[in-house]
Amino acid sequence: MNFLIVIIVFLSMEGATWLIHKYVMHGFLWGLHADHHDHSTEGSLEKNDYFFVIFAIPVIAIMYYGSTQGFNYVFYIGLGIALYGMAYFFVHDIFIHQRLPFLKNTKNPYLLAIRRAHKQHHKHLDKHEGECFGFLWVPVKYFKMYFNKV
């Protein structure tokens, strides 16, 4: 049952990510996210990186609380969110934005579709215009671009 909780929460995070990205990061917290779009920050860190802390603190608290209650369902909800956050970091920061040169020349259609959708998202430099706010699931047209070539 706990494994099922983790999987359901992990998958549900895609919808939560879309909503948070569109209405929070491109909304009232645009001031933290803007430098991620205009690349005005020198060095390797951006204000946008504060979102890691903003999202990590409540997840750590949820997991801690769940662990003090005998590793109940609350812990596994936190674990699902934490695993999604780890996946987000590896795919977004390491693969898409190449903070580490990993899978730079991939031919994998799924990864190429994710990368293309994210590039479409970044072509908009202000908070009002935008598309592709998701992360692991992107509009079908991007998948078709690469899966039809296989």
pLDDT of 78-125, one tens digit each? 999 999 999 988 888 888 878 777 778 888 888 888 888 888 887 777
82 in Cβ contact with 63 (< 8 Å): yes
State the Cα–Cα distance between residues 91 and 22, nearest whole angstrom. 19
Query: Quick one: which of 115, 95, 87, 110 has its CA closest to 11?
Result: 87
Token pair recorded at residue 39: 């690349």
State the Cα–Cα distance between residues 72 and 28, nearest whole angstrom. 34
Lookup result for tokens 């909780």: 5
Token pair recorded at residue 72: 């109940």
Lookup result for tokens 């990864």: 111
State the Cα–Cα distance between residues 79 and 4, nearest whole angstrom. 12
What is the sign of the dihedral through the CA atoms of 98, 23, 42 and 53? negative
pLDDT at 4 over 90: yes
65 in Cβ contact with 91 (< 8 Å): no
pLDDT at residue number 40: 65
pLDDT of 7-49, one tens digit each? 999 999 999 999 998 999 899 999 888 888 876 666 678 888 8
State the Cα–Cα distance between residues 116 and 97, nearest whole angstrom. 12
pLDDT at residue number 43: 64
Higher pLDDT, residue 52 or 4: 4
pLDDT at residue number 81: 97
| Contacts of 65 by beta carbon, 8 Å cutoff, 6+ apart | 74, 75
